[in-house]
Amino acid sequence: MTRIAICGAAGRMGRALIHAVDARTDVILAAAIERTGNSLIGTDAGEMAALSPKGVKINQSLASQIDLVDVIIDFTSPEATIANIALCRQEGKGIVIGTTGLNEAQKHLLIEASHDIPIVYSGNYSVGVNVSLKLLELAAKAFGDTVDVDVLEAHHRFKVDAPSGTALMMGEAVASALGRDLKDVACYAREGHTGARDRKTIGFQSIRGGDIVGDHTVYFMGEGERVEIRHVATSRMNFANGAVRAAAWLKTRSAGLYDMRDVLGLK
């Protein structure tokens, strides 16, 4: 039985994660953490998520609960995630990270911590998205330099980062398959008289509005044909189920940095 702590428990993803834990028989909710000052601190995590009581009160301190858990699932903010990674490293706990928007320095700290503890870090925990990444690699290798590639993503109006972590994962999958470095070929804006595009670039376009959970399409655009690989999420439960699956998988792993494709055996 894997004992799980959920950081960001009162948020939309946090509540979905509680439901995902409740649906499995090999994991148990051992701690639920929220930021200091949240009005739900002290309430039962199960009742907060519209489930039966779980006997787990929402707490503001992961450090006070760390001995109760095996693996932490963190869908919070970059700053909170880095602090939680440091605590997990100190206490020898595994952590599943779904936080997006980490900068290069924060990613470097994450990589350093993975030398001492097992970490799953993914821009998207959906099984479907990770299958799509495999398909993108296959398509990129087949087309090579004969097509132009763009990524279009859409999310709800409250999402604070763009492009999405999933869009960047998709761009990285294509770039890697083509032997390119995404940092060198990514194009995040087109405006004015841009001239003909460089075929080696990978474009990104972001839409924000309404309650869109997640919609990603990668276009492989050639002369006379176009291939589109699309993934549409209609519920956060697919992300939550994948993250909990990753947590159960991580419990028996040694130190290292993993992603969802490791969890699914797609590598």
Q: Could you confirm whether 141 is annotated as catalytic?
A: no
Q: Could you confirm whether 159 is annotated as catalytic?
A: yes
Tell me what pLDDT residue 124 has.
Answer: 84
Q: Which CATH class is domain 2-125+236-264?
A: alpha beta
**Fold of domain 127-233:** Dihydrodipicolinate Reductase; domain 2 (3.30.360)
Q: Residues 190, 193, 196, 202: what is their CA dihedral angle, to the nearest 10 degrees? A: -10
Instruction: Report the DSSP beta bridge partners of residue 150.
Output: 203, 219
What's the average pLDDT block by block, 10 residues per block, for the chain (267 residues)?
97 95 97 94 96 96 97 96 98 95 94 98 91 96 98 95 92 97 95 93 98 96 98 92 97 96 90
> What residue ranges do the domains of the chain occupy?
2-125+236-264, 127-233
Catalytic residue among 155, 156, 200, 216: 155
Catalytic residue among 159, 183, 251, 267: 159
Tell me what pLDDT residue 67 has.
Answer: 97
Measured distance CA(239)–CA(84) in Å, rounded: 20
Q: Residues 209, 214, 220, 225: what is their CA dihedral angle, to the nearest 10 degrees? A: -80
Closest CA to 45 of 37, 36, 35, 33: 33
